[in-house]
Structure 1
Amino acid sequence: MASTQRVTFQDGLTWTVVGDDGRVIEPVEAYLDFARQSDYSPNTVRSYARSLALWSTHLARRGRSWDAVRLTDFGSFLQALRAGEVGSATVALRPVQAISDATVAARLRPVMSFYRFHAAMGVPAASFLYDQVNGRPGRYLPFLEHVARRQPRRRSQVRVRVRPREVTVLEPVSVEALLAAEAQFDSDSGEWSGDLRYRLLWTLLAETGMRIGEALSLQHRDWATGRGDTASVHIVPRHHPHGVRVKSGARRVFVGSRLDRLYGDYVWWLCDRGGDAVIENWDGAYIFCNTIREPLFAPLRPESIYAHLDRMKRLVPELPSAMTPHWFRHTHATALLLAGTPLHVVSRRLGHRDVQTTTNTYGHVTDDAELAALANWRQVVQGWEPRAND
């Protein structure tokens, strides 16, 4: 069986794929190295390595070399993925656990990209995967289509049909219950009790739609406190000691005055715990840091956040068991769209490179809102009825 292998080096970590003999599978490593040079995130490289390890295991069981595959190998791979048979020590006769088509498609995508890469490098492997299609698909063509000079398109011969995935959101009562469980303000003493660090983190995610990696990458220099104007947070791509990355490049996100005040209280909260004596360079210090475990005031790990959220799920019954920090992002985008915020504005706030990404992910939100507006049919058609004076 092929397996993924974690590789640690001075600037971070990555993953590769090794065979039964413990040696790196060279064709796979060549593709993964291309992905690293293309600035793919370590998590993406890890996911691609996992998929290619499954593919290599599948080919080994069929006695097939990677550059001598047939179309039937891909069909059997899809079937084995759905049955959960790839990567197990024994091949089950019947599926043990059904795997969604979205997961199957995610596993297949790196394999297809792997063969596209080697085809571009001149390796004649799996040339049957794509065929050239001239013209536009569909029955109707635009005016003067016959004189347009269009390049042929490549169409994949292996595809997985995936239903659009519905995003999961949090109810306001769930968000409020989590914030209250993290920290509360005592108006009599004028102090916060609890872990203000996590209250600030969840509030930031809920009110900005940031990804968890973007929030963990923030340094104090990135928070521009409002001084007669609107406060903002600058998301800046930078090297993080725990491999956290900013996915969508640099952007500025405006925040409200309440969140800005909460950040100010948090800075004083850090000072009360000795941060002012330990942190020499506040501008370059990470906002979300260790306050209990050593090393104190070092950048917080993503694993710590997920472990903390698992504990909070057991303490706060209002939280869904499947909740992840990414649910705050979905909740923020859904709330903006239901409030009538233009789609392109939501797209820029979320940091999507293409507004089509926002449409594909949250298009059902606006569709449902428009359909819900038609629920009162009589009110809608009232304007159609002829007036008595007409």
Structure 2
Amino acid sequence: MSAHRLSAFFHVAAYTGARRGELLNLRWSDVDLDGKQITITGSAAFIDGERIEGTTKSGRKRIVSLDDGTVRVLKAQRSKQAADKLVAGQEWRGTDDHVFTTGWGEPIHPDTVSSLTATMIRRYNDLVKGPTPKKPLPHARLHDLRHIHATTLLLAGVPVHVVAARLGHAAPSITLRVYAHVIRAAEASAADVFANAIGE
């Protein structure tokens, strides 16, 4: 099964924990592939049928580091977008250097990626051709990728203030409140971690 044309969007969402609107606002000028980072500068939304671009939820921009795999995904996205532009020719409608666009260069509508999440899960679970997956994917929302990102980092021992900065929370206390259940699960094993660390 070939990758969906917006698979890069979902990959970057999962591997950065960025919000939907933040990624749909992302420009190539905000992407530093050599430095392996992106700068989240604002957010995009549709209000009364009109695309609105504004600040991030916290009102501050932030830098989010990238792993090597995500750098490769973004390089491939840039190449694919360049190919789309060649095919579209004078019909290309891109004007603002957006990273994620339609085949015509227009910014992606936020509802498109949200509704596509459920569609892609359903298609994966109900393949017409080929074997049924051994482990069907559970129902999930696009925003769940952000929660998975944060939960994975916290359970791996990444400090709360680092996770908060990565997610764009105004303060670590917000991260502590939202992910209190994850913190409690990690704390439950703290005694064993300490004992193992000193060799008992």
Shorter-chain TM-score tier: 0.7 to 0.9
Contact preservation (8 Å) 1:337, 1:343: yes
How does 1:8-27 map onto structure 2 within 5 Å?
none
Is 1:329 equivalent to 2:146 in the alignment?
Answer: yes
Instruction: Kindly provide the CA deviation profile for residues 202-239 of structure 1, in whole angstroms up to 9, marking residues without a partner as x.
Output: 1111111101111111011111111xxx3111111267
Gap change, CA 1:223 and 1:333, over 3 Å in 2: same
Percent of paired sites with the same residue? 27
Tell which structure's C-alpha radius of gyration is larger. 1
Amino acid aligned to 2:172: V
1:259 is aligned, of 67, 70, 74, to 70
Q: What one-letter code is carried by the residue in structure 2 that aligns with 1:299?
A: P
Shift of 1:334: 0.8
How far off is 1:182 after superposition?
6.0
Amino acid aligned to 2:102: N
TM-score normalized by the length of structure 1: 0.42
1:235 equivalent to 2:43? Answer no
Q: Contact 1:275–1:297 (CA<8 Å) still a contact in 2? A: no
From 362, 367, 376, the counterpart of 2:179: 362
> Normalising by the residue count of structure 2, what TM-score does the alignment of the two structures yield?
0.78
Is the 1:343–1:355 contact (alpha carbons within 8 Å) kept by the matching residues of 2? Answer: yes
Query: Mind listing any 5+ residue stretches in structure 2 that lack a counterpart?
Result: 126-135
- Provide the C-alpha distance between the structure 1 equivalents of 2:179 and 2:170, rounded to a whole number of angstroms: 15
- Aligned CA distance change for structure 1 residues 357 and 182 (closer, same or farther; 3 Å): farther
2:98 matches 1:286? yes
Relative to structure 1, is the Cα distance of residues 244 and 311 closer, same or farther in structure 2, using a 3 angstrom cutoff?
farther
The CA RMSD measured in Å over matched residues stands at 2.8
SS at 2:108's partner residue?
coil
1:347 aligned partner: 164
Taking the aligned partners of 1:350 and 1:330, their CA distance within structure 2 comes to: 10
Secondary structure in structure 1 of the residue aligned to 2:39: strand
Q: Secondary structure at the match of 1:234?
A: strand
Shift of 1:247: 1.5
Map residues 289-308 of structure 1 onto 2, 5 A cutoff.
289-291=101-103, 296-308=104-116
Q: Which amino acid aligns with 1:234?
A: T
Once residues 201 and 335 of structure 1 are traced to their aligned partners in structure 2, the CA distance between those partners, rounded to angstroms, is: 19
Alignment correspondent of 2:132: none
Deviation for aligned residue 1:354: 1.4
- Within 5 Å, which residues of 2 pair with 1:177-256? 183=3, 195-196=4-5, 198-226=6-34, 230-237=35-42, 242-243=51-52, 245=54, 246-248=56-58, 249-256=60-67
Which has the higher relative contact order, 1 or 2, with Cα contacts under 8 A spaced 6 or more apart? 2
Shift of 1:275: 4.8
1:315, CA displacement in angstroms? 0.9
Q: What are the superposed Cα offsets for residues 55-112 of structure 1, whole Å, 9 maximum, x if unpaired?
A: xxxxxxxxxxxxxxxxxxxxxxxxxxxxxxxxxxxxxxxxxxxxxxxxxxxxxxxxxx
Structure 2 letter corresponding to 1:231: K
How much does 1:355 deviate?
A: 1.1
Counterpart Cα distance in 2 of 1:325 and 1:281: 25
SS in 1 for 2:179: helix
Q: Label 1:238 to 1:336 Cα distance change in 2 as closer, same or farther (>3 A).
A: closer
Higher helix share: 2
Partner secondary structure for residue 64 of structure 2: strand
Structure 1 residue 269 corresponds to structure 2 residue 80: yes
**Cα offsets for 1:31-69 (capped at 9, x unmatched):** xxxxxxxxxxxxxxxxxxxxxxxxxxxxxxxxxxxxxxx
Shift of 1:327: 0.6
Shift of 1:373: 5.1
